[in-house]
Amino acid sequence: MSLVTRYRLFWAALAAALLGLAFWKNSQSYPRKSRPWRFGKAVIDTGLVVLMVIYAPALLLAYVVIWLTSPFRNKIIQVTTAFASILAVTHLAGVVFEAVAVLGVFAVDLLTGQVLARMDKREQNKLAKAA
């Protein structure tokens, strides 16, 4: 099985699991609605989540934080906790993105051979100065 097939199979299984979870949640929330209605709502919910993952991850992060802080009944505590958690996660994401950018620069240098060429040139310059 090729890597591309495994990659697509992984994402298809992830989307199917998300669809199943949404259908189960809709069955718990709307027991009186028909099965096609709950499945249609699950398809729409899953599609919206996938679109947000692809095009608006920051908005998805905000929705997740709002969902996680919804059990707090005191609005002041809820808003404070949501604000602090968004700041913390955004800071961590910024650090991760910066690390990925730096590693990407080094990866491009390694792929083009410029890093190794510079190291060899520096070694030759040291040998030339020593001689």
Quick: pLDDT tens for 46-77: 999 999 988 988 888 888 888 888 888 898 99
Does 67 map to a domain? no
Does 43 map to a domain? yes
Shared-domain flag, residues 49 and 12: yes
Does 92 map to a domain? yes
Question: Whole-structure pTM over 0.75, yes or no?
Answer: no
Number of domain units in the chain? 2
The residue to which tokens 């030759």 are assigned? 124
Q: Please list the ranges in the chain whose pLDDT falls under 50.
A: none
Shared-domain flag, residues 6 and 36: yes
How many whole angstroms separate alpha carbon 60 and alpha carbon 75? Answer: 21
Give me the domain span that covers residue 3: 1-55
Shared-domain flag, residues 51 and 85: no
Shared-domain flag, residues 83 and 120: yes
Which residue, 72, 3, 74, 14, is CA-closest to 46?
14
Shared-domain flag, residues 49 and 83: no
Where does residue 42 rank: exposed (0-12), middle (13-18), buried (19+ CB within 10 A)? buried
